Amino acid sequence: MTYFLKADRFLLENEEKKDLYLQVDNGLFGSFVNKVPRNATVVDWSGYTIGPGLFDTHIHGINGHDIMDGTAEAVQGISESILALGVTRFLPTTLTSSKEDLNAAISAVKKAVQQGLGGAQSEGVFLEGPYFTEKHKGAQNQNYFRDPDYAEFQEWQQLADGSIVKIALAPEREGSLEFIRAVSREGVLASLAHTDAGFNSSTHAIDAGARNFVHLFNGMSGLHHREPGVAGAALTDARAFAELICDGHHVHPDVAVLAARTKGDKLSLITDCMRAGLMPDGNYELGEFPVVMKDGIARTKTGSLAGSTLKLIDGVKNLYAWSGKPLYEIWHRASLSPAASLDRENDLGSIAVGKVADYVVIDDDISVQAVAVAGEMKYCKERK
């Protein structure tokens, strides 16, 4: 099917285009034109802005669902819930847990994808753990921490039919560099997280193939002027991406702006959202830990932040307001940068000829009005 989109402006990688028509052909973006052919189908979003679909590469759950529930229904619930928030692609994300629970979570994602997801589409599994260390454990269960085991990872990858695309670990664990080299050769994004490693150890991990830092400043040794730590390596090494949770709680707004300036297009906005997202304050669970959400902030009983309840579109709004940068630039930190971290930038993440036609229609308040996946409208808010 071929049709044309009309909007006041389109958010492109390095600019905005205004008052044009954008062709969508068989689920892919085509070219911009000033006039459409006679009898062409036009989807008119005059008065609105269109940007590429958002891509959340780190999300555990939302709306009462969690990947660690180990059910296809939970995966489907997450997919459908985040679609209305402008997310068209995501990585179902696990937690450190028992091997049995991780097997169940991986199997559930595989089953849900085989059944067909009704909302945002999975681009593969993210294993957050279990190869972490204790000091910056956050809401990860230290009872299951251990050294990286490539044979174990291969078992999970076989169970997942090769769909594990990202894994996080602490580089100070024994055998980590060999593990990073091995998974990187397979195209899996090795990421650093929940680690007390130093700057040099982090740099050695990047040399070995690690190309991503999980939730920058959280779950890692901090920046010091004599020992830059994991955070310092993340900020200063241009080879690596860094994830950022822009809810104003995990990272101070001014520090978020500093990270955005420093990392540029190597900054990926994420949510790290857990099941309490979109839910009222109250008692929840994150993995095996009880969690209390108050005023929208989820914490364990010890006071540690337990993931977030952030909507990715709100992360975009926040960094846009804090930074003063153009919306098209900030928007792509939540679409193109995540795609690029997984080597998917040629297919996803921006409006360009030949890319998958995932797009989001927003109003002047950056509120989602409609969402399309591969050119097909999947969500549309009733117009007033």
The CATH number of residue 44's host domain is 2.30.40.10
How far CA 27 is from CA of 145, 347, 369, in Å, comes to: 43, 12, 20
Q: Both 211 and 265 in a single domain?
A: yes
pLDDT of 249 reads 94
Percent of the chain at pLDDT exceeding 90: 93
Question: pLDDT by residue (tens digit) across 314-355?
Answer: 999 999 999 999 999 999 999 999 999 999 999 999 999 999
Q: Both 41 and 165 in a single domain?
A: no
**Which among 143, 118, 122 has a CA at the least distance from the CA of 132?**
143
Q: Both 68 and 213 in a single domain?
A: yes
Question: pLDDT by residue (tens digit) across 114-173?
Answer: 999 999 999 999 999 999 999 998 888 899 999 999 999 999 999 999 999 999 999 999
Mean pLDDT of 35-52: 96
How buried is residue 34: exposed, middle or buried, by Cβ count under 10 Å (0-12/13-18/19+)?
exposed
Q: Both 274 and 371 in a single domain?
A: no
The answer on pLDDT for 383 being more than 80 is no
Q: Both 26 and 148 in a single domain?
A: no
pLDDT tier, 186 (very low <50, low <70, confident <90, very high otherwise): very high
Q: Both 137 and 281 in a single domain?
A: yes
Q: Both 10 and 96 in a single domain?
A: no
pLDDT of 268 reads 98
pLDDT tier, 382 (very low <50, low <70, confident <90, very high otherwise): confident
Q: Both 276 and 356 in a single domain?
A: no
Average pLDDT, the chain: 96
Q: Both 32 and 133 in a single domain?
A: no
Q: Both 44 and 171 in a single domain?
A: no
Q: Both 185 and 227 in a single domain?
A: yes
pLDDT tier, 33 (very low <50, low <70, confident <90, very high otherwise): very high
- Domain tally for the chain? 2
Distance of CA 32 to the CA centre of its chain: 28
Question: pLDDT by residue (tens digit) across 274-310?
Answer: 999 999 999 998 888 889 999 999 998 888 888 899 9
Paired with 74 in beta bridges are none
pLDDT of 156 reads 98
Burial string for 36-45 (b: 16+ CB within 10 Å, else e) reads eeeeeeebeb
How buried is residue 208: exposed, middle or buried, by Cβ count under 10 Å (0-12/13-18/19+)?
middle
**Which among 177, 165, 223, 215 has a CA at the least distance from the CA of 194?**
215
Q: Both 78 and 44 in a single domain?
A: no
How buried is residue 339: exposed, middle or buried, by Cβ count under 10 Å (0-12/13-18/19+)?
buried
pLDDT of 287 reads 81
- Catalytic residue numbers? 272
The CATH number of residue 335's host domain is 3.20.20.140
The answer on pLDDT for 74 being more than 80 is yes
Range of the domain at 43: 2-52+350-380
pLDDT of 384 reads 58
